[in-house]
Amino acid sequence: MKLSKSLLSAILIGIAIQ
């Protein structure tokens, strides 16, 4: 399923602070 670039970026940032 295609995810938006903004969501993928948010996940990437989320991982960093998670």
Partner 1 sequence: MPKVLSAVACNLDANILAACLPLMEESRIEAIEWSFDALYKVKEVPAWFRELLTTFSNEKRLIGHGVFFSLFSGKWLPEQENWLKHLEQTAAEFQFDHITEHFGFMTGKDFHRGAPLNIPYTTATLNIGRDRLKRIYEACKRPVGLENLAFSYSLDEVKRHGAFLEQLLEPVNGFIILDLHNLYCQLQNFNISFDEMIALYPLDRVREIHISGGSWDDSAAAPDRSIRRDTHDDTVPPEVFQLLEMTIARCPHLKYVVLEQLGNGLVTEESKRCFYDDFLQMEEIVRKNSDENDADSSDPFLPLSSLLTGTAVEDMTLYQQQLELSAILESSASYTEAMHALRQSSLANSDWRIEQWEPYMIETAVKIAQKWKK
Q: Is 17 helix (H, G, I), strand (E, B) or coil?
A: helix
Q: Is 6 helix (H, G, I), strand (E, B) or coil?
A: helix
Minimum distance, C-beta of residue 6 to partner 1, in the bound complex (Å)? 9
Size of the site for partner 1 (CB under 8 A): 13
Minimum distance, C-beta of residue 4 to partner 1, in the bound complex (Å)? 8
User: What is the C-alpha to C-alpha distance for residues 16 and 18, in angstroms, rounded to an integer?
Assistant: 6
Q: Is 14 helix (H, G, I), strand (E, B) or coil?
A: helix
Binding flags for partner 1, 1-18, as an x/- string (CB under 8 A)? xxxx--xx-xxxxxx--x
Binding site for partner 1 (CB under 8 A): 1-4, 7-8, 10-15, 18
